[in-house]
């Protein structure tokens, strides 16, 4: 066997070893994503319900004003409750983002997939934080209206228009983890059964 042939064989063995290591890391990452998927789906459903309810609430106020008496105080309470829900969903996304960040990934392609997930989760958190800020401001405005003699009942907080504009084209959150899992399966030829062998993720 010539020296050149030996080098080619050695290079092939090294490449195969590296490919196997990357696939093993991909399987481990996919197991983590699979175990987080149900929890993430529940957060997605909560976000969709929250933002859909917020949009309908904003539309009703734009159409009828802030109201008087009990209606006015009721709108203030609704704004506070919606703001708290937005904060809760953002916190849940933040916990998932941290657990993703903590995954021990070393291969470039897998790090790229994770970076994409982190960016999308951060984008959603920022939107939810903006929603919370506008809702909190609206709650304060409703309370201010109730204490103002100049308030006539047909106006509403400026934050309501901002929220309505933000949520006008909202269709619901993307299933980011499912898409990442599908990408891992396609790229590394991973079978569904291989994603079911991990220990529980905490």
Q: Are 72 and 146 in contact (CB under 8 A)?
A: yes
Q: Are 137 and 159 in contact (CB under 8 A)?
A: yes
Rg (CA), the chain: 25
Q: What angle do CA 122, 30, 51 make, to 5 degrees?
A: 35
**pLDDT digit of tens for each residue in the chain (202 aa)?**
554 444 434 333 333 444 789 999 999 999 999 999 999 999 999 999 999 999 999 999 999 999 888 999 999 999 999 999 999 999 999 999 999 999 999 999 999 999 999 999 999 999 999 999 999 999 999 999 999 988 888 889 999 999 999 999 888 999 999 999 999 999 999 999 998 754 444 4
Sorted by sequence, the CB contacts under 8 Å of residue 176 that are 6+ apart come out as 40, 117, 120, 121
Prediction pTM value: 0.85
Nearest CA to 125 among 97, 101, 100?
Answer: 97
What gap in Å lies between CA 68 and CA 80, rounded to an integer? 18
Q: What angle do CA 142, 171, 135 make, to 5 degrees?
A: 15
Q: Are 44 and 96 in contact (CB under 8 A)?
A: no
- For 44, 96, 113, 118, 141, the CA distances from 110, given in Å and listed in that order, are 23, 17, 5, 12, 47
């Amino acid at each position: 066997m010539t020296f050149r042939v030996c080098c080619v064989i050695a290079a092939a063995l090294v490449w195969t070893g590296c490919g196997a290591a990357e696939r093993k890391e991909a399987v481990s990452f996919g197991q983590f994503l699979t175990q987080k998927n149900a929890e993430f789906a529940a957060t997605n459903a909560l976000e969709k319900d929250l933002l859909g309810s917020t949009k309908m609430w904003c539309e009703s106020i734009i159409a009828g004003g802030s109201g008087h008496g009990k209606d006015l105080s009721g709108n203030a309470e609704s704004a506070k409750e919606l703001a708290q829900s937005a904060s809760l969903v953002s916190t849940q996304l933040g916990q998932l983002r941290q657990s993703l960040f903590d995954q021990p990934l070393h291969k470039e392609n897998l790090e790229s997939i994770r970076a994409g997930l982190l960016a999308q989760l951060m984008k959603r958190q920022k939107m939810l934080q903006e929603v919370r800020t506008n809702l909190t401001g609206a709650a304060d405005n409703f309370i201010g209206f109730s204490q103002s003699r100049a308030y006539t009942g047909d106006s509403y907080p400026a934050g309501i228009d901002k929220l309505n504009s933000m949520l006008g084209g909202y269709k619901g959150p993307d299933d980011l983890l499912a898409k990442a899992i599908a990408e891992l399966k396609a790229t590394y030829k991973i079978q569904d059964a291989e994603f079911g062998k991990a220990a529980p993720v905490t």
